[in-house]
Amino acid sequence: MLGDKKVLYSGMQATGNLTLGNYLGALKNWVALSDQYECFYGVVDLHSITVRQDPAELRKRARALLTLYIAAGLDPEKNCIYYQSHVSGHAELAWILNCFTYMGELNRMTQFKDKAAKHADNINAGLFTYPVLMAADILLYQADVVPVGVDQMQHLEITRDIAQRFNGIYGDVFTVPEAYFGKVGAKIMSLQDPSRKMSKSDENPNASIYLMDDPDTIMRKFKRAVTDSESQILYREEQPGIKNLIDIYCACTGKTAEETVREFDQKGYGEFKSAVGEAVVSVLKPLQDRVAELTKDKAYIDSVIKKNGEKAQYFANKTLRKVQKKVGFPERIR
């Protein structure tokens, strides 16, 4: 806990292009948390290199993501927005925690199995120990809470197990984090396969709306969105494509599913898809304009990177020095 506020930690990978699902499901909701919590939001570029990256592209995407955090409304004076790779404590703590994590625990991680299947030609040790680095991210800042989706609960559980194991040996060193279930962000599904979440790594470009898609591209993708042959706009599990479009429309307009069904009663799918597309364009246009404005202000973004990186390093070092002392590393001569 920093001062009177509890600490919240989260982050996103600097790979791929963020989708409408990332924005409506997470990023948009982060903005409201800064008054309640001391928030650390990482651009988690260390995690990105478990898969081979083009170096120039990774640097470009990392900066674009940090800029997007600010454009979405995260105030860098209130929130610590930083590059994970700029704080050496992440890697240092991850190594120490590796020595307190069991192979059996890592073997049970479903995301490792999924990623190993996707990258069979590059099943590296980093991919296997990825959850330990994630635990280090969280524990380094003594986070009280971590916003998680269902698919990330397993990673938070292993983080709690590692923290409790370490505390059991060395005393009260780490805050044991809790899952944060605040306002539930919209769960946005793929436009081409509504049984799966919208993903920035989807191979079908028509399946996802990317935050930087221009209006014409957005409208075209919605026109191609998978629906069904029922031709009725109803909010029910039997019509997953339409249900997903209603969820998107509600998230962008603030209307309820019931209001949306009434609004489009007796109207065709084509008209509804166009309305959803227009609602998304109206939400993303101000965000895109702000990104363009911030991108031009190189000095400002550089100052945020420097100032917030130093802040993150300061708090990370407080935890790291305590951990190093507990495990028996020699003290540094200052």
15-24, 289-298, 307-316: which range is least confident on average?
15-24
Catalytic-role residue among 6, 115, 221, 273:
115
**Contacts of 85 by beta carbon, 8 Å cutoff, 6+ apart:** 45, 46, 62
Beta bridge partners of 210: 19
Radius of gyration of the chain (CA): 21
* Amino acid present at 197: K
Beta bridge partners of 6: 37
Mean pLDDT of 48-73: 93
pLDDT exceeds cutoff 60 at 216: yes
Mean pLDDT of 66-72: 96
Sign of the dihedral through C-alpha 75, 58, 286, 241: negative
Mean pLDDT value across the chain: 92
- Does residue 267 carry a catalytic annotation? no
Catalytic-role residue among 187, 200, 255, 322:
200
Of 127 and 304, which is predicted with more confidence? 304
What's the confidence (pLDDT) of residue 200? 85
pLDDT exceeds cutoff 90 at 2: no
- Does residue 28 carry a catalytic annotation? no
CA atoms within 13 A on the CB side of 277: 20
What's the confidence (pLDDT) of residue 14? 83
Of residues 153, 211, 149, 151, the one with CA closest to residue 186? 149
What's the confidence (pLDDT) of residue 3? 65
Catalytic-role residue among 78, 197, 307, 326:
197
Question: Using CA atoms, how far apart are residues 80 and 10, in angstroms rounded to an integer?
Answer: 11
Question: Using CA atoms, how far apart are residues 28 and 140, in angstroms rounded to an integer?
Answer: 25
Strands 37-43 and 145-147: unpaired
From residue 155, alpha-carbon distances to 7, 84, 101, 149 in Å are 18, 18, 12, 10
**Contacts of 58 by beta carbon, 8 Å cutoff, 6+ apart:** 14, 15, 45, 48, 49
- Does residue 200 carry a catalytic annotation? yes
What's the confidence (pLDDT) of residue 90? 97
pLDDT exceeds cutoff 60 at 184: no
